[in-house]
Chain A
Amino acid sequence: MDGSLIGSPVRRKEDQRFLTGRGNYTDDINRPGQAYAYIIRSPHGHAKIKKIDASAAAKTKGVIAVFTGDDMKVGSLPCGWQVKSTDGSPMKEPPHPPIAQGKVRHVGDQVCVVIAETYAIARDAAEKVKIDYQPLPAVVDMRRALESKSLVHDDVPKNLCYDWTIGDAKAVNDAFAKAHKVAKIELINNRLIANAMEPRAAIGDYDRSNGDYTLYTTSQNPHVIRLLMGAFVLQIPESKLRVVAPDVGGGFGSKIYHYAEEAIVTWAAGKLARPVKWTAERSESFMSDAHGRDHITHAKVAMDKDGRFLALMVDTMANMGAYLSTFAPCIPTYLHGTLLAGNYATPAIYTNVKAVFTNTVPVDAYRGAGRPECTYLLERLVDVAAREMKLDRAEIRRRNFIHADDFPYQTPVALKYDSGDYHTLMDKAIRLSGWDDFEKRRAEAKKRGKLRGIGISTYIEACGIAPSAVVGSLGARAGLYECANVRVHPTGSVTVFTGTHSHGQGHETTFAQLVAERLGLTVEQVDVVHGDTAKIPFGMGTYGSRSLAVGGVAIAKALDKIIAKGKKIAAHLLEASESDIEFRNGAFTVAGTDKKKMLGEVSLAAYVPHNYPIDKLEPGLEETAFFDPLNFSYPAGCHVCEVEIDPDTGVTKIVNFTAVDDFGRVLNPMIVDGQVHGGIAQGIGQALLETCVYDDNGQLVTGSLMDYCMPRADDLPSFKTGTHNVPARDNPLGVKGCGEVGAIGSPPAVIGAVIDALSPLGVTHMEMPATPLRVWQAINGTKHRKAAE
């Protein structure tokens, strides 16, 4: 069996229940005596609340309580990361009350909660709550926010949260002064709405007998929610607060954060001594789930006469929305600015990020989080550089890549890449995609009246988040290790308790493979449990492609302890020296003999210790391990996209898409491929279809799926995927993250292809999403082609 499970495309264990409708999601849970909450949300982008009259609603039959901001005076929803401005001052961190205190700051801000015997009664009664607003001018456009007379928060001048820099400004300026050529770009990274299939939901429960609270919630990280809500918002000690995140139907980052509704239902459950349930309607998700991306960037690269990069300068404005969401400040800084070396050996880099508040939904991590924004600007800039230098787009990349023998590689912006082989990745992608004979296909398409184009992008990302000491020095207010507990039951089956959380990633299978392989069991004999603070010792959850790279290693370390203890027990049973015991394929053997004890025999002895070294060893076979990595993991890859554009309509069709990635050691290639496919679909969504639009008053124009365009199967081609896996040096399992790369690598390849297709018409720039309207306008020159001009 040795080696047979690792690298094997084992079918996902969890799919049986998901595909037969037996998943158990938060909204499927109902507690005895449960009441229902409806949250009244601000219809204004920015307004003072002059008066709330809830008397008629409160008197309605079936209404249990109506709470406003005056009733719920609790702690602010905390921010988990502090960024400091260049001048050393801490970021502006205005309060984020779960229910608005006198002022609303975005459409969807919580104003009042109506709790009733049924959801329908709560909704009907909510219409009787009279709220008198005084609308204020809304701050919507980031570019105007810094000069706006209107302030989202009265005590945050210029609406500026922080003004952060990293890198060596002098070295960069010197390099630009002596550059042979400079390539420049200005672009927008469009705001996205995650739209997980399952809308958020939360149930607060309170046990009057012992004062214990339980929160059931759609979260990617229940322990983090317990810490944030318990310690900062409601002052409930961990020992009195259990957080359960059962099956969760997709997160993509949007379910990392601690949301107001979680605090509201938990607090209300305590007040009313009844369970209180809230489930978002889809339209509420649009206006209350954290959004993603939303950067405006100017960037330029200095080159020598051969097109080698001498220096990179990047200025970015990042939209924080109306309040700081849990990890918002670190996305444009430590997950974006520190990635700016990309795959390139650029010796000098300097970047400035200004984070601004606007009257929009808070913005936070969304699949890729900072790294797609970084990759997009870099790869678009490199394409411009290739054009300036009249070099092939692959060739300019090849000339500037960090060489495979230069790892570990220290970038000028803090990160140290441990491993990689970017030349081989790109060569493979070029071969697989037919890059070299593309012009034949362009000519053939032209005969059919179509504009065909090809785009290439390479990416590096830092994931497997991350070393606690490193993130702590960068402003994280939490550690980012992971925890695992492995319990070998008396008869030899195994339960694994992991602090990571699976909401689509297939942990129940991948982790079972890891454990089954090490312990010589079948995948079916291993159960993986996640998502409950009462069951799992601790955990930081799932985001930043960290589950296997961090959580998987914690499991492996717990397994080491299990095997070490098992050897001691086996040595006693086999009357041999512990140092002579070997463990392989589920059997403890005495080296060089046929004497052996199976794992089940050893575990039975551990729990029925009749014949047991009780003077030296505790009974039981259960071990816990924490793992804090020494470095991030650095997957990399190359994506090639080929499009055909119908010049009559502006419709872009993706006709080929190739991705070659480096994931280090792969445990389940089918699940990895699925992650890649899903990520690419989201990247294509960003590049061609999705964008969040606000009007000048802060009204959300794309407030439903009728206007916000999510990618569908018929928008996507069949992907060609390949790998060139270089085991990670700084990860004990050799693994790298794979969850986000598709969304990181694909957008610049798609837009590069669109621009390439339109280049015979003189088009050199395209913003995302490249909708039919935008492409048609570019073809017809009805709009300024280049935002930078």
Chain B
Amino acid sequence: MYSFDYARAKNAKDAAKLLAKKEAKVVAGGMTLLPTMKQRLAKPSLLVDLAASKDLKGIKKAAKALTIGAMTTHAEVAHSSVVKGACAALAALAEGIGDPQVRNRGTIGGSIANNDPAADYPAACLALGATIVTTQRKIPADKFFKGMFETALKRNELVTAIQFPMAEKAAYIKFPNPASRYAIVGVFVAKFKDEVRVAVTGAGPGVFRVPAWEEALAKKWSADAIAAGAVKAADMNSDIHATAEYRAHLCAVMAKRAVAAAK
């Protein structure tokens, strides 16, 4: 790790101000940033810590949406009775991220701002049609995730909260990498009154939706509606743990299981 300065932001506004410094970087839970810094792959001059920014924390349920503050940890989401009541699939997803240490430190805002192609939360945001609230604007999930580790966030723009619309049914099923436990394939399905959304993480260069399955499921909400072949091996990642063909196959298997598990 290279040496760096450290500042603790009082709130989101304060953080934005601190981030004006050259080479400054914001740290939420630090579950990706700190290992990257230890490997000397990141060299921030200043770390702006959001841990004390109380305005970024918390879980609120309104009539139409569940709002989760960006600095809410995975463990808080996983154990929240509000989340469990509003969207059990989201709580279950949070419970399946990393290990207890990661869940106690890692945050939802950090996860989606990092947009790791094998992270779990992007699938939930995309499938549930979430709105990403930032210090500057509101961004629909469909426009937020831009491919591998890229998002629509501008420099010094911070995620402050995520608003999730209520689905009638939803589920997330993950096939974890046996070593890292990141998603080799993770599929989030969400059934709304007038549409179905399916998002896949881990399989490709970034989280993506599968329109063919969404249409088929909108017509018939059943695991049988998932047809193999809608996800093409040519679009998949390939590594020592899973070939592109295997990933494409797993997408369909996980999607079917998600539909069957959705409630």
- Chain A residues within CB distance 8 Å of chain B: 120, 124, 127, 283, 648-650, 689, 693, 701-702, 705-710, 715, 771-773, 776-777, 782
Cβ of A772 and Cβ of B179 under 8 Å apart? no
Instruction: Please name all residues of chain A whose beta carbon is closer than 8 Å to the beta carbon of B3 when the two chains form the complex.
Output: 120
A residues near B1, Cβ cutoff 8 Å? 120
Contact pick for B178, options A127, A689, A693, A776, CB 8 Å? A689
Which residues of B approach A to under 8 Å, CB–CB? 1-3, 39-40, 175, 177-180, 182, 240-243, 245-246, 249-250, 253
Q: State which of B39, B178, B253 has its C-beta within 8 Å of the C-beta of A771.
A: B178
Please give, as numbers and ranges, the residues of chain B lying within 8 Å of A710 by CB-CB distance.
Answer: 179
Q: CB-nearest residue of chain A relative to B249?
A: A776
Closest to A774 in B: B246
Chain B residues, CB < 8 A from A127: 40
User: Judging by beta carbons under 8 Å apart, are B178 and A709 in contact?
Assistant: yes
Residue of chain B at shortest CB distance from A711: B178
**A772 contact set on B, CB distance < 8 A:** 175, 178
Known: A702-B240, A705-B180, A773-B243. 4 other contacts (CB 8 A): A120-B1, A689-B179, A709-B179, A777-B246
CB of B253 within 8 A of CB of A648, answer yes
Check A708–B179 contact: CB distance below 8 A. yes
Distance to closest chain B CB from A697 (angstroms) = 15
Cα–Cα, bound, A702→B177 (Å): 13
- A773 touching B2 by the CB < 8 A rule? no
Q: Are A773 and B241 in contact (CB under 8 A)?
A: yes
8 contacts between A and B (CB under 8 A): A124-B2, A283-B39, A649-B175, A689-B179, A705-B179, A706-B179, A706-B180, A772-B178
Helix, strand, loop or mixed for chain A's interface? loop
Judging by beta carbons under 8 Å apart, are B253 and A707 in contact? no
Task: Give A428 Cβ to nearest chain B Cβ, in Å.
Answer: 33
**Chain A residues in 8 Å Cβ range of B245:** 782
Task: List the A side residues contacting B175 at CB < 8 Å.
Answer: 649, 772
CB of A554 to closest CB in B, whole Å: 42
Whether the Cβ atoms of B240 and A701 lie closer than 8 Å is yes
B179 partner residues in chain A, CB cutoff 8 A: 689, 705-710
Q: Which of B3, B39, B240, B249 gathers the greatest number of chain A CB atoms within 10 Å?
A: B240
Q: Knowing A689-B178, A771-B178 are in contact, say whether A707-B246 is a contact too (CB < 8 A).
A: no
A195 to chain B, nearest CB (A): 11
B180 A707 Cβ-Cβ under 8 A = yes
Instruction: List the A side residues contacting B243 at CB < 8 Å.
Output: 773, 777
- Nearest Cβ distance between residue A669 and chain B, in whole angstroms? 32
Residues of B within 8 A of A124 (CB): 2
Q: Which 4 A-B pairs have the closest CB atoms?
A: A709-B179, A706-B180, A709-B178, A648-B253
Contacts of B178 in A (CB 8 A): 689, 709, 715, 771-772
Taking the nearest CB of chain A, how far is it from the CB of B32, in angstroms?
Answer: 12
Given contacts A124-B2, A649-B250, contact A773 B180 (CB under 8 A): no
Residues of chain B with a CB closer than 8 A to A650's CB = 246
Please judge, given known A-B contacts A124-B2, A705-B179, whether A776 and B246 are in contact too, CB under 8 Å. Answer: yes
Bound: A707/B182 CA distance, A: 11
> Hey, which chain B residues are within 8 Å of A715, CB to CB?
178
- Expressed in whole angstroms, the minimum distance between the Cβ of B253 and any Cβ of chain A is 5
* Complex: chain B residue closest to A772, CB-CB: B178
A782 to chain B, nearest CB (A): 7
Closest B residue to A706 by CB, please name it.
B180
- CA gap between A650 and B253 in the complex, in Å: 11
Closest Cβ neighbor of B175 among chain A residues: A649
CB distance from A699 to the nearest CB of B (A): 12
Within 8 Å CB of B241, what residues of A?
707, 771, 773
CB neighbours (8 Å) of A702 from chain B are 240
